[in-house]
Structure 1
Amino acid sequence: MRFDHSVTVQAPADRVWAIFSDVAKWPEWTPTITAVERLDPGPIHLGAKTRVRQPKLPVAVWEVTELVDGEYFEWVSRAPGIKTTGGHRVESTPEGTVVTATIIQEGPLGWVFGKLYAKLTREYIALEGQSLKKVSEA
């Protein structure tokens, strides 16, 4: 299953990226994340691992698998029977900075998990987008 949400932010792309890619500070600006523990030091990089706690969801460890600094990062979390990929894109446009969050659930249990948590997933990525917009525009 795939879920996408985009929002246009009236702030420079580099400002939005700085906030979006600093995953350790997500609990400060979005209510969908209760705790983040970086498992390695420094800024986000390929192979970086982060433990994330969210309300109503199991604790997950995410590993960065793709990174285009200033534009995009993707990370993956695995559990028995499911692989979840989270994409985080920042794109400068004439209308403002477009932020897109993507969640893809794959594997034998991916479809089941996706169906069970579809409403919550849609709510979370929309709220994260609105929260990022608010903090970036402040």
Structure 2
Amino acid sequence: MKLEHVIPISAPPEVVWAVTEDIERWPEWTPTVNTVKRLDEGRFDVGSTALLKQPGLPEATWRVTTLIPGEQLTWESRIRGMRLIATHQLVATTTGTQSKLSIEMSGLVVRLLWPLIRLSVRRSLQQENMGLKKQCEALHASS
């Protein structure tokens, strides 16, 4: 099962990428993440891992599987019998950046609960993208 949300952001891709890549500060701007802790040091790249606590979910380890600087971050996790693949994709536009968030969920639990969790997952994508937009536009306006 896959959902996505797209939003225009009036800030250049460099600003949006800097906010996206700084995962330990996500709790400052998105209500969909309570805490983030990097589990490794050094450059954030493919193979990097982080422990995330999200509302209503247990802490989970996320591992970066694709990272194209300035364009895309994809990472995955396994939580309560579910496999989650989340992608943050940025595209430059004439007015700033388009942010596309997507989540692909699989596993028996997802198939059973999809009718109950679909709207909640969709709302989380919207909230995260709205928080990203607000944060990036505020940073861009103050620079």
Band the TM-score falls in, shorter-chain normalisation: over 0.9
Q: Comparing both structures, which one devotes a greater share of its residues to helix?
A: 2
Identity in percent: 36
Do the aligned partners of 2:8 and 2:97 also contact (CA within 8 Å) in 1?
yes
Q: Could you give the per-residue CA deviations for residues 87-118 of structure 1, whole angstroms, max 9, x where no partner exists?
A: 00111012430001100001233323443321
Structure-1 residue corresponding to 2:141: none
Taking structure 2 as the reference length, the TM-score comes to 0.90
* TM superposition outliers: structure 1 runs of 4+ over 6 Å: none
Deviation at 1:64, TM superposition (A): 0.3
In structure 1, stretches of 5+ residues that fail to align are none
- Does 1:63 pair with 2:63? yes
The answer to whether structure 1 residue 35 and structure 2 residue 35 are counterparts is: yes
Q: 2:94 aligned with 1:72, yes or no? A: no
Q: d(CA) in 1 for partners of 2:113 and 2:63? A: 20
Deviation at 1:136, TM superposition (A): 0.4
Verify: 1:108 aligned to 2:108, yes or no: yes
The whole-number CA distance in structure 1 between the counterparts of 2:71 and 2:131 is: 19
Gaps of 5+ in 2: 139-143
> How far 1:80 sits from its partner (Å)?
5.5
Amino acid at match of 2:68: V
Provide the residue aligned with 1:97 in structure 2. Answer: 97
Over the aligned positions, Cα root-mean-square deviation in angstroms equals 1.4
Alpha carbons of 1:113 and 1:84: their partners in 2 closer, same or farther (altered >3 Å)? farther
1:30 match: secondary structure: coil
